[in-house]
Amino acid sequence: MTGTFTGRSPAAEASPEAPGLSEPSKGLTVVTKEPYCAETPLPELDTWVTPTERFFVRSHFPVPHLDVESWRLIVDGEVDHPLELSFADLMRERTRTVVTTMECAGNSRSSVYPPAQGVRWHHGALGTARWSGVSLWDVISKAEIRPAAIEAVFEGADHGREPGVPEELSYAMSVPIVKAEHPDTLLAFEMNGEPLTASHGFPVRVIVPGWYGMGSVKWVTRISLIDHSFRGFFRTKPYTFIHEGDDPDVLRKPVTSLQVKSVITWPPEGATVAPGRIVVRGAAWSGEAAISRVEVAVGLPDDSGEGGTWRPATLLGPETPHAWVRWEVPIDLERPGYFVLRCRATDERGDTQPLRAEWNFRGVANNSMHAVPLIVRRSA
Amino acid sequence: MTGTFTGRSPAAEASPEAPGLSEPSKGLTVVTKEPYCAETPLPELDTWVTPTERFFVRSHFPVPHLDVESWRLIVDGEVDHPLELSFADLMRERTRTVVTTMECAGNSRSSVYPPAQGVRWHHGALGTARWSGVSLWDVISKAEIRPAAIEAVFEGADHGREPGVPEELSYAMSVPIVKAEHPDTLLAFEMNGEPLTASHGFPVRVIVPGWYGMGSVKWVTRISLIDHSFRGFFRTKPYTFIHEGDDPDVLRKPVTSLQVKSVITWPPEGATVAPGRIVVRGAAWSGEAAISRVEVAVGLPDDSGEGGTWRPATLLGPETPHAWVRWEVPIDLERPGYFVLRCRATDERGDTQPLRAEWNFRGVANNSMHAVPLIVRRSA
């Protein structure tokens, strides 16, 4: 642990773009003000670890401002010994640090056609951070979890109303026990070596590596072990694969692991470059497998996603289980003109990216190939 | 003329969303603050004439605040008698009123894939207004236009810098003489029976019916007749059809007439409705031909744009040469579920809407079919 706990969320000047937030969001693009959702422009994602102040923020409700002294974590449900833990109790456990890529399930929704319901993220609800905390299982297993428990439900201190729901809701999401048991699933209190900021979950959040961000519940105050599939609003409505014609009352496949995906972080979309060789750079990730291959092509794709010549990119280090890999590939663009670059990643299971992902009503888990238009100017 | 000229732009309280604007923009969605670009939510386009305060605003530069007393219009170039006209000079001509549908060339750009460069409009850079003024030709023909003139260039008082252009620019756009001659091409000073507001071009703007909005130059102060194709920045860069592989120095086809298109204005995208019959409503338009048919289908399209059963909509009056037609069609949705509606219009030339319009670098003139996801809830 490198941060220092003062009992308060780190002080910083208020951002005019983030009502109710006590921290700035430098260089982020605000997508919705209430709740506060802001994304990272792709050129700002051109490093392995994303600086905290450039890390996307997804809020469902107003950001709660919690106090570390009074914060408590309840562990209940299918347990023999329910717990109520303080922050000091957590600090007695062995700390663990993981670097994970986090992507919002709604990332890249803005280009989904037909238009999908939800925050209209471009591609920047995405980032990689170094999270420190304690293994979730080390903490909750002390409650003596009963064999009947099949899921752990994380509940945050953030709450409010959702359209069509009569009562007030807290944000809550579940994971299967097998994910809760994984030592890299954390109760995290540090991000990139500093205490969590208010908008990233101070004082304690869950980190579920390999999953879309909806599982990494911020401001966590309760963990309930349950003997059935969680049917809370956020699990069954926004974070689920709903297809055309589906009955609203039938449960669909939930959104869980990150699909294989890649983005071009340089050059920026619409950039003008000089003729000659450019080095195209980016990131690639997949929730449950390592990336085996990234390719870049120049030219508009045909309907199958082919068109142009795919060139293999070099995968750069470091290789870690839960973080994206950086990649780069030199591309020769000798002739002035308007061009389109696109990239696709393939993982060790053989999963790869489609030209356009299968449509779903919420526009979640969109891993369509990223395409970057580019102008090659005439040389001076 | 029903408005009263006071010599100033109509006073109104300042909008916090519109820096430098002296008028409110009720119910508009701000897309960019500088320059100020704001669009109309589709449910607000559910009337034949769009109220002025709900009419989309497309600015290229800060909004100029002009004075009607000092305003002058220069007519020069390929003319025997250059003119300098005052507002009082215009008022001596016979007034003419036209109702026209105006659509920004970049409307519906947000869903273009690969991402296209420019303001990321959803579908609401669109509206219909009643414009009053004088026929452009009645005014400029007094300058005794030479036979060599093939285009008229409209220059606005708005000016500023564009990326990659060393000198400051004024907004300017050209039309061929045949369009300038049309009696419905106006120098307009009223919108919906009131003097123009500052953001809509006070005191005088051009109205070019049947064209995308870029031709209807606001705050017009100069009209130059030229004997060649205009090569100004706005004509050759943003408002042109650029395709993948094009050479930046070769002129491409300019954006001119509105392509055939339709939108669903009710129900709103993502609405929840009761099971049973709903009446789907919308608008349809085409620049150079009347609308002959509008159809609505339920269901996800296949790659050809088909899928589901197309049902013909009833076209509603009034029929006028330059304004959209309203349409409606009852659709039975008896079963609860998630559905997607889509519409397509066909004009009297036989032009119709593609599922996805051919890609171009600027994402202009996108007339892809509009699709509206919908939830049919369980009754009671």
CATH of the domain at B129: 3.90.420.10
Q: Is A368 within 8 Å of chain B by CB?
A: yes
Contacts of B376 in chain A (CB under 8 A): 248
Q: Is B338 within 8 Å of chain A by CB?
A: yes
Question: Is residue B23 in some structural domain?
Answer: no
Contacts of A338 in chain B (CB under 8 A): 242-246, 248, 361
Q: What is the pLDDT of residue A28?
A: 94
| Structural contact between residues A186 and A210, judged by C-beta atoms closer than 8 angstroms | no
Question: Is residue B247 in some structural domain?
Answer: no
On the CB side of A283, CA atoms within 13 Å amount to 26
Which B residues in the span 229-268 are in contact with A, Cβ-Cβ below 8 Å? 242-249
Mean pLDDT lowest for which of A82-86, A147-151, A354-358?
A354-358
Question: Is residue B106 in some structural domain?
Answer: yes
Same domain for B288 and B142? no
**Measured between alpha carbons, how far is B130 from B48 in angstroms, rounded to an integer?**
10
Q: What is the pLDDT of residue A21?
A: 47
Residue A144: what residue type? E
Q: What is the gyration radius of the CA atoms in chain B, in angstroms?
A: 21
Contacts of B364 in chain A (CB under 8 A): none
Contacts of A372 in chain B (CB under 8 A): 114-115
pTM (2 d.p.): 0.87
pLDDT digits (tens, 9 = 90+) for B212-227: 999 999 999 999 999 9
Question: Is residue B304 in some structural domain?
Answer: yes
Q: What is the pLDDT of residue A378?
A: 86
CB contact under 8 A, A117 and B373: yes
CB contact under 8 A, A245 and B371: no
Same domain for A189 and A276? no
Of the partner residues A116, A244, A272, the one whose CB lies closest to the CB of residue B164: A272
The Cβ of residue B163 has, within 10 Å, a number of other Cβ atoms equal to: 6
CA distance A115 to chain B (A): 7
**Measured between alpha carbons, how far is A154 from A216 in angstroms, rounded to an integer?**
9
Q: Is B167 within 8 Å of chain A by CB?
A: no
- What would the two tokens of residue A244 be? 């055309």
Q: Confidence band (pLDDT; 50, 70, 90) for A27?
A: confident
Same domain for B69 and B112? yes
CB contact under 8 A, A336 and B372: no
Same domain for A66 and A125? yes
Number of domains in chain B: 2
Contacts of B272 in chain A (CB under 8 A): 164
Q: Is A317 within 8 Å of chain B by CB?
A: no
Q: What is the pLDDT of residue A25?
A: 58
Contacts of A245 in chain B (CB under 8 A): 299, 337-339
Q: Is A100 within 8 Å of chain B by CB?
A: no
Look at the block and give the residue holding tokens 């929840």.
B272
Q: What are φ and ψ of residue A245, in 5° steps?
A: 90, -10
Q: What is the DSSP letter of A20?
A: T
In a mutagenesis test of the B interface, which of A29, A244, A246 is the best target, namely the one with the most B β-carbons within 10 Å?
A: A244
CB contact under 8 A, B303 and A303: yes
Please report the beta strands in A104-238, taking only residues with DSSP state E, as ranges in sequence order: 126-135, 151-160, 169-176, 186-191, 194-195, 205-207, 220-226
Same domain for A220 and A304? no
Q: Is B339 within 8 Å of chain A by CB?
A: yes
Same domain for B87 and B223? yes
CB contact under 8 A, B248 and A375: yes
Query: Which residues of chain B register pLDDT less than 50?
Result: 1-22, 24
Question: If you measure CA to CA, which chain A residue comes closest to B163?
Answer: A272
Specify the pairing of strand B72-77 against strand B83-86.
antiparallel
Same domain for A87 and A218? yes
Question: Is residue B311 in some structural domain?
Answer: yes
pLDDT digits (tens, 9 = 90+) for B125-179: 999 999 999 999 999 999 999 999 999 999 999 999 998 899 999 999 999 999 9
**Measured between alpha carbons, how far is A287 from A292 in angstroms, rounded to an integer?**
13
Q: Is B337 within 8 Å of chain A by CB?
A: yes
Contacts of B16 in chain A (CB under 8 A): none
Q: What is the pLDDT of residue A208?
A: 98
Q: What is the pLDDT of residue B378?
A: 86
By residue range, what is the domain housing residue B229?
29-236
In a mutagenesis test of the B interface, which of A113, A253, A374 is the best target, namely the one with the most B β-carbons within 10 Å?
A: A113
CB contact under 8 A, B378 and A248: yes
Question: Is residue B243 in some structural domain?
Answer: no
**Measured between alpha carbons, how far is A111 from A103 in angstroms, rounded to an integer?**
16
The Cβ of residue B43 has, within 10 Å, a number of other Cβ atoms equal to: 16
Same domain for A214 and A170? yes
Q: What is the pLDDT of residue A255?
A: 97
| Structural contact between residues B138 and B73, judged by C-beta atoms closer than 8 angstroms | no
CA distance B377 to chain A (A): 7
Same domain for B88 and B151? yes
Same domain for A65 and A155? yes
Q: Confidence band (pLDDT; 50, 70, 90) for A14?
A: very low
pLDDT digits (tens, 9 = 90+) for A325-348: 999 999 999 999 999 999 999 999
The Cβ of residue B265 has, within 10 Å, a number of other Cβ atoms equal to: 26
Please report the beta strands in A200-324, taking only residues with DSSP state E, as ranges in sequence order: 205-207, 220-226, 261-266, 271-273, 276-285, 291-298, 311-312, 314-316
Q: What value does the mean pLDDT take over residues A256-284?
A: 96
Of the partner residues B113, B245, B336, the one whose CB lies closest to the CB of residue A247: B336
Q: What is the pLDDT of residue B200?
A: 98
CB contact under 8 A, A244 and B378: no
Look at the block and give the residue holding tokens 């869980």.
A256
CB contact under 8 A, B361 and A373: yes
CB contact under 8 A, A114 and B378: no
**Measured between alpha carbons, how far is B273 from B276 in angstroms, rounded to an integer?**
9
Contacts of A246 in chain B (CB under 8 A): 337-338
Of the partner residues B113, B340, B377, the one whose CB lies closest to the CB of residue A248: B377
CB contact under 8 A, A115 and B269: yes
Q: Which of A220, A236, A252 is the last residue of a domain?
A: A236
Question: Is residue B253 in some structural domain?
Answer: no
- Whichever domain contains A348, its CATH number is 2.60.40.650
| Structural contact between residues B45 and B265, judged by C-beta atoms closer than 8 angstroms | yes
CB contact under 8 A, B337 and A246: yes
Q: What is the pLDDT of residue A40?
A: 97
Q: What is the pLDDT of residue A13?
A: 30
Q: Which of B236, B270, B296 is the last residue of a domain?
A: B236
Same domain for B62 and B178? yes
Contacts with B141 (C-beta within 8 Å, 6 or more apart), sequence order: none
Q: What is the pLDDT of residue A380?
A: 62
| Structural contact between residues A50 and A78, judged by C-beta atoms closer than 8 angstroms | no
CB contact under 8 A, A336 and B299: no
Contacts of A263 in chain B (CB under 8 A): none
| Structural contact between residues A323 and A285, judged by C-beta atoms closer than 8 angstroms | yes
Q: Is B112 within 8 Å of chain A by CB?
A: yes
CA distance B268 to chain A (A): 11
Q: In the predicted model, what is the mean pLDDT of chain A?
A: 91
Q: Which of B186, B221, B236 is the last residue of a domain?
A: B236
Question: Is residue A23 in some structural domain?
Answer: no
Q: What is the pLDDT of residue B9?
A: 43
The Cβ of residue B358 has, within 10 Å, a number of other Cβ atoms equal to: 11
- Chain A with chain B: Cβ pairs closer than 8 A: 110
pLDDT digits (tens, 9 = 90+) for A89-144: 999 999 999 999 999 999 999 989 888 889 999 999 999 999 999 999 999 999 99
The Cβ of residue B6 has, within 10 Å, a number of other Cβ atoms equal to: 10
Q: Is B353 within 8 Å of chain A by CB?
A: no
- The answer to whether the complex's ipTM is over 0.85 is no
Q: Is B304 within 8 Å of chain A by CB?
A: no
CB contact under 8 A, A299 and B245: yes
Same domain for B216 and B160? yes
Q: Is B375 within 8 Å of chain A by CB?
A: yes
CA distance B133 to chain A (A): 39
In terms of residues, how long is chain A?
380
Contacts of A336 in chain B (CB under 8 A): 247-249
Q: Is B7 within 8 Å of chain A by CB?
A: no
**Measured between alpha carbons, how far is B89 from A339 in angstroms, rounded to an integer?**
50
| Sign (positive or negative) of CA dihedral A116, A118, A124, A127 | negative
- What would the two tokens of residue A180 be? 């809760």
Of the partner residues A270, A303, A337, the one whose CB lies closest to the CB of residue B117: A270
**Measured between alpha carbons, how far is A365 from A258 in angstroms, rounded to an integer?**
7
The Cβ of residue A2 has, within 10 Å, a number of other Cβ atoms equal to: 10
Q: Confidence band (pLDDT; 50, 70, 90) for A319?
A: confident
